[in-house]
Amino acid sequence: MSRKVSAHLFSSANGVVESPNLWQFDAFGPEEGQLMGEVIGPVTDVVIGRKLWQEWSEFWPSADDPFGQFINPVRKHVVSSTLSGELPWNSAVIDGDPVDHVRKLREQDGGNIAVTGGIDTVRSLFLAGVVDELILTTHPVVTNQGRRLFDESVPTTRLSLLSAQTTSVGNVILTYGLRPTE
């Protein structure tokens, strides 16, 4: 049995997923917290891009809030072409193709696998079909700054809506999978 692989991103109404801390701060309610707990609770491995890993590895090791308690002990698999080998903070660089690495990782024993970013890592793994669930918490805000998860480089791709929930603070939590090709 293979492990579930998921990615969760905060998104603006116009699809921006970069730097959500600049626009999502006023719209995080109890449903969003519950979802975060449900998603990260069974996770034992995290796939993370180099830039985000470097940013987080400077902050989270000394944090003792609920996310720090989650992210610090899990094994982190870093997607990087510039780093190598074992890293601090329970981390190692993925040796070889990240898609192959996630395919092999999902067949090993353990809990769920979360893909936490960056944008290119989430996009490439989702489009390669190794991410089972793409969860977008879409905030009722439009921003003119930041990158989108699916930009003009992505060909038309059909998704399957797995679930949808509107929260008390006005966000919509959408869970997608890739639509199987026929």
Q: In what order do the strands lie in the sheet with 159-166?
A: 86-87, 91-93, 75-79, 43-49, 112-117, 5-12, 133-139, 172-178, 159-166
Q: Which of 136, 125, 117, 132 is nearest to 178 (CA)?
A: 132
Predicted confidence (pLDDT) at residue 11 exceeds the cutoff of 80: yes
Cis status of the peptide bond prior to 15, with omega within 30 of 0: no
Predicted confidence (pLDDT) at residue 182 exceeds the cutoff of 60: no
Predicted confidence (pLDDT) at residue 115 exceeds the cutoff of 70: yes
Domain spans of the chain, in order of start: 5-178
CATH architecture of the domain 5-178 equals 3-Layer(aba) Sandwich (3.40)
Predicted confidence (pLDDT) at residue 16 exceeds the cutoff of 60: yes
Mean pLDDT of 131-141: 95
Distance CA 149, CA 159 (A): 14
Q: Mean pLDDT over all residues of the chain?
A: 91
Confidence of residue 88 (pLDDT cuts 50, 70, 90): very high
Mean pLDDT of 46-52: 95
Paired tokens of 125: 């793994």
What length does the chain have? 182
Residues 6+ apart with CB under 8 A from 136: 8, 9, 10, 11, 17, 149, 173, 174, 175, 176
Paired tokens of 29: 């309610």
Give the per-residue pLDDT at 1.
Answer: 59
Mean pLDDT of 66-93: 92
Give the position of tokens 């626009």: 23
Predicted confidence (pLDDT) at residue 181 exceeds the cutoff of 80: no
**Secondary structure class of 159 (helix, strand, coil):** strand
pTM for this structure?
A: 0.91
Predicted confidence (pLDDT) at residue 51 exceeds the cutoff of 60: yes
Mean pLDDT of 20-42: 83
Give the per-residue pLDDT at 77.
Answer: 97
Give the per-residue pLDDT at 25.
Answer: 74
Q: Which of 108, 151, 157 is nearest to 5 (CA)?
A: 108
Residue 6, beta-bridge partner list: 114, 133
Confidence of residue 160 (pLDDT cuts 50, 70, 90): very high
Predicted confidence (pLDDT) at residue 86 exceeds the cutoff of 80: no
Give the per-residue pLDDT at 180.
Answer: 73
